[in-house]
Amino acid sequence: MYVIVKNLSFKYKNAKDYQITNFNLEIEKGEIVALLGPSGSGKSTILRLISGLEIPNGGEIIVNNRVLYNKNVFIEPQKRGIGMVFQDYALFPHMTVEKNILFGLEKINKEARQRILDEVLELVDMKEYKKRYPHELSGGQQQRIAIARALAPKPSLLLLDEPFSNLDAGLKKRIRKEIKEILKKSNITSIFVTHDIEDAKDVADRIECHPCEM
Ligand SMILES: Nc1ncnc2c1ncn2[C@@H]1O[C@H](COP(=O)(O)OP(=O)(O)OP(=O)(O)O)[C@@H](O)[C@H]1O
């Protein structure tokens, strides 16, 4: 199994109750899994735990045979090789598409960076847009650039938090299909969080509910 999350539990420091108790998830390589649940059920918290932005109180997280968290191990978020796409895309507004994508890849030599840039822009079909600024793009295009940026460092796992919630209802159907194609073409393993069953059905290979009694 490529991703194993076992008996994960977590409580925010200032909270009385546990937000996550004994959460389990297993994912095959290249699979797209939707984490479906109502608002406030803890879906974003699960992504924050997998990416290392929060420290679990117990359990285990393994990706590609590498332990990211257990009772003896905590790998820092920047060393996990996990890509994230946020609900608002979080593109840098003062940087062009090209600069957004290359941000954080400064250590790689120039030719390799150019190759990665061309590769991810080709993947999301946005080659002509590299000199544009985020405000010059549509919501769907911004989302594709956010995915290109997350894929550029070649993460082992991609996490997407409510990736469709900012999109016009009329465009959603088409954009879901495009995103599924992009994820499949890149062969990335991904988890995306949504409260919308239509998002989950259209994009995911498999739906996991949270909480599961819903
Ligand atoms: N920093 C925090 N400190 C304390 N409690 C928090 C914090 N962040 C979130 N929570 C609480 O944890 C619970 C789970 O929140 P989370 O954002 O994971 O839910 P969600 O399922 O992603 O919801 P949504 O779909 O509305 O984003 C909620 O009750 C929320 O109020």
pLDDT confidence of 213, banded at 50, 70, 90? low
Total structural domains in the chain?
A: 2
Same domain (yes/no): 60, 106 = no
Residues 62 and 163 in one domain: yes
Please name every residue paired with 84 in a beta bridge, in sequence order, or none if there are none. Answer: 159
> Among 11, 18, 19, 164, which residue has the most ligand 1 atoms within 8 Å of its CB, making it the best to mutate?
19
Residue 127's nearest CA partner among 154, 148, 102, 106 is: 148
Is residue 179 located within the same domain as residue 147? Answer: no
Going from the Cα of 168 to the center of ligand 1, the distance in angstroms, rounded, reads: 25
Compute, in degrees rounded to 10, the torsion defined by CA atoms 142, 148, 149, 154: 160
Q: Does residue 89 lie in a domain region?
A: no
Q: Model confidence at 51, in pLDDT bands (50, 70, 90)?
A: very high
Residue-range definition of the domain harbouring residue 122: 94-154
Mutate to test the pocket of ligand 1, among 11, 41, 164, 208 (most ligand atoms within 8 A of CB): 41
pLDDT tens for residues 83-138? 999 887 789 999 999 999 999 888 889 999 999 999 999 998 999 999 999 999 98
Q: How far is the CA of 19 from the centre of ligand 1 (A)?
A: 8
Same domain, 71 and 172: yes
